[in-house]
Amino acid sequence: MIGASTRLFAVLGDPVAHSLSPGIHNPAIEAAGVDAVYVALRCGAAEVSGLMRGLAVGGGGGNVTLPHKEAAAAAVDEPSKLVVRTGACNTFWLEDGRLRGENTDVAGFRGAVSSLLGHTARGLHVLLLGAGGAARAAIVGLTLDGAASVAISNRTESRARQLAAELGDGRARVLPPEDGPGGLRFDLVVNSTALGLQSDDPLPFDPSTSAPPGAVLDLVYRPGETALVRAARAHGIPAADGAEMLVRQGAQAFECWWRRPAPLEAMRRAMEALRREGGAG
Ligand code: NAP
């Protein structure tokens, strides 16, 4: 029951009404038996810093989503190494009176890769589609895991070049978007573009016209599977959408706040229920 000792957690973003985070974190709170509630708060860039500090000082914390992850990175007193490296913070809480920030998208991505492949990206040749915020978490995860090479293809080529130079760790190169992957064969293709969110979007990568990759990880998630996941499986290619990444970034956030293992299975079950109900975004 919500009472005077209940701690308040929130996801801050704009828009945020579509966020699945409350639907994952409230079941996690219940499963873990902690006294807290998790809500979604829409806010502008100017309010992010004050809301983060207020929630944390009040004994709670939360997450930050689009478009405020960079503002959140600037707002924390103690950014983690990954917040500094990616320039983005998606999780915050108070520790020893200081506002701390973490980027749990990186761990979420690495966990999703391992879950799909049965091992990390070590030694793999990877094609990364997209160069936005999700791509930043992905390329940091891939370099930490020791991927052999990362080819980046993005609609706006200059953003791909910037990403490769900033976070590519000397093992990233850029493919001109008009060329596509050509005849190159990759061990893993990661879609971090927004393509696939809408049912009439074109495929970000067509497994029928490219050399078949070893596996496809689509960071997009929507009710049912994404068209890219369906197309990959139809060609016998192991594939997964972004649900596992979302659950795992939430699990690491839970562990930052509560300093105990997250109830991962309860979070996965909640995600599956949200999917069946038609939640997206
Ligand atoms: P973002 O920063 O806005 O980046 C969007 C990316 O998509 C950019 O590379 C953009 O290319 C590309 N793009 C957008 N529309 C396109 C189109 N019509 N054709 C080709 N490329 C297009 O967004 P984000 O935060 O990276 O998120 C991207 C996707 O990842 C979203 O679907 C989001 O839901 C998903 N995501 C999933 C998780 C998870 O936990 N599973 C976490 C984060 C994000 P330009 O540079 O040319 O604009």
**What gap in Å lies between CA 80 and CA 100, rounded to an integer?**
8
| Active site (catalytic) residues | 69
The pLDDT of residue 281 is above 60 = no
Instruction: Determine which of 89-93, 205-209, 253-257 has the lowest per-residue pLDDT on average.
Output: 205-209
Mutate to test the pocket of ligand 1, among 153, 219, 222 (most ligand atoms within 8 A of CB): 219
The pLDDT of residue 3 is above 60 = yes
| pLDDT reported for residue 1 | 87
Instruction: Determine which of 35-44, 231-240, 254-263, 272-281 has the lowest per-residue pLDDT on average.
Output: 272-281
**What gap in Å lies between CA 131 and CA 202, rounded to an integer?**
18
Atom of ligand 1 nearest to the CA of 135: 26
Number of C-beta neighbours around residue 5 at 10 A: 8
Question: What is the model's pTM?
Answer: 0.95
Confidence category of residue 278, pLDDT binned at 50, 70, 90: low
* Listed residue (136, 119, 107, 85) closest to 245, CA to CA: 107
**Residues in Cβ contact with 117 at an 8 Å cutoff, skipping those fewer than 6 apart:** 188, 214, 215, 238
- The tens digit of pLDDT for each residue in 146-188 reads 999 999 999 999 999 999 999 999 999 999 988 878 788 999 9
